Chain A
Amino acid sequence: MLKRYIVITFRNLQRQRLFTFINIAGLAVSMSVCLIVLISVRENLSYDNFHPAASRTWRITTHAQTPDGRKYHMASVPLPMGPALKSSYAAVENEATLYGVLNGEGKIDKKKINIHGAFATPSFFEVFGFKLAAGNPRTALVTPNSIVLTAETAQRFFGTTDPMGKVIRFDRFGSFIVSGVMEPAPSKSHIDFEAFAAMSSVPLLEESKVLPDKLNNWDVVQSSYTYVVLRKGEKVSALEAALKDQAHRYDGLVQKGQGSMAFEPQALGKITPSREMMDDIGSGPPWGKVLAEIGVALGLIICACFNYTNLSIVRSLQRAKEVGVRKVNGAQRWQIFLQFIVESVIMCILALTMAILLLMIMQATHFSGLPVPDNNLLDPRLLTLFFLFSITIGIVAGAIPAWALSSFQPAKVLKDLIDIKLFGGLGLRKSLIVIQFSLSLTAIIFLVTVYRQFHYKAIKDMGFYRKDILNVPLGDVDFQRMKERMMQLKEVETATASSGTLGMPRHCSFCVIRTGESKNRMEFGYYAGDADFIKTMHLKLLAGSTFPESASAEKEQYIIVNEKAVSVMGLKSPADAIGRTLFLSDSLPVSIIGVIKDFNYQPIEVNIRPMAIRFVPAEFHQLQLSMLKGNKEQQVADVKKIWTAMNPGETFPAEWMDEQLLSRNGREVVSMLGFLVFITTMIAALGLLGIVAYTSFTRRKEIGIRKVLGASATGLLMLLSKNYIKLILIAGCIALPLGYISSVFFLQIFAYRVSTGILAMLGSFLFLVFLALVTIFSQTWRAIEVNPVNSLRND
């Protein structure tokens, strides 16, 4: 029976090429997006699934409230928390503490690699399911100054040679002996440190003041993470009680009104996707992003399903006779229903095959419109997942048409086909068209706004210069030395050392500044820059001067602030501020030497706030070279030659500032959104094409009669198109306000933004109307062109 269903499906698909093409193409394109999302969701939900007692493992998190009432939920806890829990509470079977401060350059001989590592207790390998490829998990983290590397880090440092027993040297933390190499984890984990050093190294480091005093300090929360395994049979409530008990340490704080601290357990399995906590580790996406991805995929697949439903219902006239005959031959309703479900499932599986092919093509061509994962798409487990997904889609898409078709009464459909009332009549089909077009129109309007905003962002004058500036990392080289060498190149006009690129997200640092008079502490954004920073970035000095050449590299003496800072300090004019003393981090006095005009040092999502330029050579990260106009490739090559001479054996990662800003400011987002909108529009247009094609076909007799009676071509065109145009207009009425509202919401993100652009919206609407008209006319015209003799003779 099933075989017969499949055979008849394929014969039907072959007969109805246009219908098949529209359905499969629409489904395949949207399914390929769904598959991408499916892969990413599966990945996001499979974090940390390999730990031995995952269901009994909890991370402790902190709810902290600052004296001024701001609340933070932090993923970290005070460092002594773990030991305290384990020693005092019977419910706690084991704990592991991670202290994520082992950051810096690790050196082996001449090789230097940045390491993002943590100190870990020996219980690390008991609590978590990480396995060692080399070394003993019980002893690897016991002796001070031993270190365990992840497989990837070991590979980066040592290549194929055996890392065991080798020494890695850190400038700050001293030398560590490799005591173990981990196996690659079976799945992703939120613990993404690249190296784990023995926690027993920390007391010495604290004694020598390399690390702040934290081992016995209950007041500092940052960077230390505690994981607890409960005994079998113990409930979370036991842990919660223990944490409540521990929080009593802070009763004094609360009484004095100096804020508060409380702790909360978080299940290991619930860490990723994350809840956006402060001070969290790992790169797992937040729930918001995961849900947004799912939303986009669902929207697309629903559009494609609508096409299927719509076309199937339209086509049901053709299938009605078959249903009637089958029923007369003894078919029950559920059997007919099943037949049509099988049909739509097969359609979906075909679409799936095409979608997988499409993804493979995207992978092969490095298509940039979508974040195509580089997974092996033919992995059996992934394929099973895809397969189940497409079967579900098939059932969902096929249910309504199958229900409608299986409801036909044989006596009626076999007698005369004209009488049949289609399920839901015209209403359902019409509303499906309206929904589809509303969706794609909303999407188009939204994208146009996004595009205009990003374009605006790209060309907006943020108050600094960005053209022809080459950013070169300093590495270990002293900034003065490299600057002098670079200045010898005749293409280099000016150069400045800086801590980051102006206008880049997260390149701005922050510090707390207090004025001499008031106790008022303010948060300042700052960039570290040298005396040429203002000149190179073309910033405008309103008063004072830049840093003097004689400024000390060791002791900070001077600071440059912006207008906003001046007004926040309550001063009337920039000139008043010159010479005033500010206290950095409450203690370090510096005097204001210059005031610059306000400019957007952060991306334009954010308003201009008080900011400063500080002369802190220790924080200099890169050299920014302002080049003369000329052959850019040659310039890069020249700079590269000098740079490689100073940093032997390293790759040269220079970047042009304008390109760097452009690429980090949403170019990908725009191209991705553009692609998605293209898909929704295409699906909607395909759906309309199918319906118009089919209805024109069924009305060919009427058209023939009208033509014989003397109707003109334009009259017929109007007659056939009128209904659809009405639907498109209704869709416009729904989508324009929706698009407007979503655009307004989107623009709220930006402090500096374009207007919502009524004209652009109407433009997108007209574009869609035009597209619809082309679709409708192409089909109706074909129906009208047919010689009435032909269409009438057949009947």
Chain B
Amino acid sequence: MIQLQKISRHYPVGFGKNYILKDIDLTINEGEFVSIMGPSGSGKSTLLHIMGLLEEPSEGQYLFEGERVDRMNEKKRTQLHRGSIGFVFQAYHLIDELTVYENIETPLLYKNIPASERKSRVADVLDRFNMVAKKDLFPNQLSGGQQQLVGIARAIVAEPRVILADEPTGNLHSDQAKVIMQLFKHLNEQDKITIVQVTHSDLNATYGNRIIQIRDGHIQS
């Protein structure tokens, strides 16, 4: 599903280059639950951003379902964002001015889905995450764990094929983290959503079925 071939990412320092990622070759198949691990600054977040089209690689090829993504134009990338990729962030990144319901609805709005269908899909997701009672609250009225639940709900409401999660439990305590990780596992097993997560925690990594160790811009294993 995701194929990275000789992907590098660097930025100029003086006359030279500082590599964040160097010659990454990685293939992630449909239905996998991959955990990317590594110390701070090893380039794992950058790798995730490249997979999620938020950053462009300096060198190399990126194929999403066999298509060259690095050659796509802005419009097609947006299509991919809308249709195939869902994001979950460490800092949740909910829109503060929108209620839970409206936050979850946002991706559907941009996908031009008709109002009635939007309503039923958001209702579905709310129901599934047990958040119906909280749908009219604003993010700052929720605990961190609940906010992250909303973040995940928003990521899956557009029915993406892959979820990219950047330290999704980084700001949560262990009980909340457990709930989130189980939810991911469930999504992966039941809904067949491919999941790629970046994490520091060995425990969280065990929920996945593959662990990629990254260090100084290289894949270790």
Interface residues, chain A, with chain B CB atoms under 8 Å away:
1, 4, 7-8, 11-12, 15, 321-322, 324-333, 335, 409-411, 414-415
The 3 A-B residue pairs with the shortest CB-CB distance in the complex, in nearest-first order: A330-B82, A411-B54, A330-B110
Residue pair A326, B95 in contact (C-beta under 8 Å):
yes
B97 touching A8, Cβ below 8 Å: yes
Asked if B87 contacts A330 (CB within 8 A), the reply is no
Q: Is the CB of A328 within 8 A of B54?
A: yes
- Is the C-beta of B158 less than 8 angstroms from some C-beta in chain A? yes
Q: Which residues of B contact A (CB under 8 A)?
A: 45, 49, 52, 54-55, 74-75, 78, 81-82, 87, 89, 91, 93-98, 102, 106-107, 109-111, 154, 158
Q: Which residues of B contact A11 (CB under 8 A)?
A: 97-98
Q: Decide if A324 touches B158 in the complex (CB within 8 Å).
A: no
In the complex, the answer to whether A330 meets B94 with C-beta atoms within 8 Å is no
Q: In whole angstroms, how far apart are the Cα atoms of A11 and B95 in the complex?
A: 12
Q: Is the CB of A329 within 8 A of B154?
A: yes
B54→A329 contact, CB < 8 A = no
* CB-nearest residue of chain B to A333: B74
**Complex CA distance for A230 and B21, rounded to whole angstroms:** 82
What CA separation (Å) do A321 and B109 show in the bound complex?
A: 18
User: CB distance A330 to B95 under 8 Å?
Assistant: no
Report yes or no: A332 in contact with B75, Cβ–Cβ below 8 A: yes
- Chain A residues near B97 (CB-CB < 8 A): 8, 11-12, 15, 322
Note all chain A residues with C-beta closer than 8 A to B107: 329-330
Nearest CB of chain B from residue A656's CB, rounded to whole Å: 62
- Whether B78 contacts A330 by the Cβ 8 Å rule is yes
Q: Bound complex: CA of A11 vs CA of B106, how far in Å?
A: 16
Contact in complex: B93, A414 (CB < 8 Å): yes
Given A8-B98, A11-B97, A411-B49, decide whether A329 and B110 contact each other with a Cβ distance below 8 A. yes
Q: How far is the CA of A380 from the CA of B82 in the complex (A)?
A: 43
Task: Closest A residue to B75 by CB, please name it.
Answer: A332
- Nearest chain B residue, comparing its CB with the CB of A330: B82
Q: Are A321 and B78 in contact (CB under 8 A)?
A: no
Bound: A743/B197 CA distance, A: 69
A317 to chain B, nearest CB (A): 14
Whole-angstrom distance between the alpha carbons of A11 and B154 in the complex?
21
- Can you name the residue of chain A whose Cβ is closest to the Cβ of B93? A325
Q: Which residues does chain B contribute within 8 Å of A327, judged by CB atoms?
A: 81
23 pairs from A and B in contact (CB 8 Å cutoff): A12-B97, A321-B93, A322-B95, A322-B97, A325-B94, A325-B95, A328-B52, A328-B54, A328-B81, A328-B93, A329-B107, A329-B110, A329-B154, A330-B81, A330-B158, A331-B78, A332-B74, A332-B110, A333-B74, A410-B54, A414-B54, A414-B91, A414-B93
A153 shortest CB reach to chain B, Å: 62
B184, chain A: closest CB distance, angstroms:
18
A324 touching B109 by the CB < 8 A rule? no
Chain B residues within an 8 Å CB radius of A8:
95, 97-98
Complexed CA–CA distance, A11 and B91 (Å): 22
12 new A-B pairs (CB below 8 Å) besides A11-B97, A15-B97?
A: A4-B102, A7-B102, A8-B98, A325-B106, A326-B95, A326-B110, A328-B87, A329-B81, A329-B106, A330-B158, A335-B110, A410-B54
Taken together as a complex, chains A and B put the C-alpha atoms of A328 and B158 apart, in Å, by: 12
A496 → B minimal CB distance (Å)? 76
Contact between B109 and A4 (Cβ–Cβ < 8 Å)? yes
**How long is the Cα–Cα vector from A321 to B87 in the complex, in angstroms?**
14
Measured CA separation A330–B85 after assembly (Å): 9
Q: Which residues of chain B have C-beta atoms less than 8 A from A331's C-beta?
A: 78, 110
- Chain A residues contacting B110 (CB-CB under 8 Å) are 326, 329-332, 335
For the complex, give the distance between the alpha carbons of A326 and B78 in Å: 11
Q: How far is the CB of B54 from chain A (nearest CB, A)?
A: 4
CB distance from B191 to the nearest CB of A (A): 19
State the CA gap A7–B99 with chains docked (Å).
11
Bound CA–CA A59/B94 (angstroms): 69
Chain A residues with Cβ under 8 A from B78's Cβ?
330-332
Across-interface contacts of A326 in B (CB, < 8 A) = 95, 106, 110
User: Given the complex, which residues of B lie within 8 Å of A332, measured CB to CB?
Assistant: 74-75, 78, 110
Residue ID in chain A nearest B45 by CB atoms: A415
> Are A1 and B109 neighbours in the complex by a CB distance under 8 Å?
yes
| CA–CA, A1 and B45, complex, Å | 32
Minimum distance in angstroms from B131 CB to a CB of chain A: 18
A484 to B97, CA, bound (A): 83
Name the residue on A nearest B82 (C-beta): A330
How far is the CB of A464 from the nearest CB of chain B, in Å? Answer: 70
What chain B residues lie within 8 Å of A15 (beta carbons)? 97
Q: What is the CA–CA distance of A335 and B110 in the complex, to the nearest angstrom?
A: 8
A4 to B109, CA, bound (A): 9
- Bound-state CA distance A410–B77 (Å) is 13
What is the distance, in angstroms, from A406's C-beta to the closest C-beta of chain B?
Answer: 12
Say how far A326's CB is from chain B's closest CB, in angstroms.
Answer: 7
Closest to A415 in B: B45
Which chain B positions have C-beta within 8 A of A330? 78, 81-82, 107, 110-111, 158
Most buried by B among A1, A7, A332: A332
Q: Roughly how many angstroms separate A401 CA and B208 CA in the complex, as a whole number?
A: 43
Give every chain B residue within 8 A of A333 (Cβ-Cβ): 74
Cβ of A414 and Cβ of B102 under 8 Å apart? Answer: no
Alpha-carbon distance A321/B93, docked complex (angstroms): 7
A12 CA to B96 CA, complexed, in Å: 10
Q: How far is the CA of A20 from the CA of B95 in the complex (A)?
A: 20
**A residues less than 8 Å from B158 (CB atoms):** 329-330
Residue ID in chain A nearest B112 by CB atoms: A1
Complex CA distance for A324 and B96, rounded to whole angstroms: 13
In the complex, residue of chain B having the shortest beta-carbon distance to the beta carbon of A8: B97
Residues of A within 8 A of B55 (CB): 411
A8-B55 Cα distance, complex, nearest whole Å: 28
Nearest-neighbor residue (CB-CB) of A332 within chain B: B78
B60 to chain A: closest CB distance in Å? 17
- Cα–Cα, bound, A324→B89 (Å): 12
Residue in A12, A409, A410 whose Cβ sees the most chain B Cβ within 10 Å? A410
Complex Cα gap A1–B105 (Å): 11
Taking CB atoms, residues of chain A closer than 8 Å to B91 are 414
What is the bound-complex CA distance between A15 and B107, given in angstroms? 24
B157 nearest CB neighbor, chain A only? A329
Looking at the assembled complex, report how far the CB atom of A119 sits from the nearest CB atom of chain B, in whole angstroms.
Answer: 71
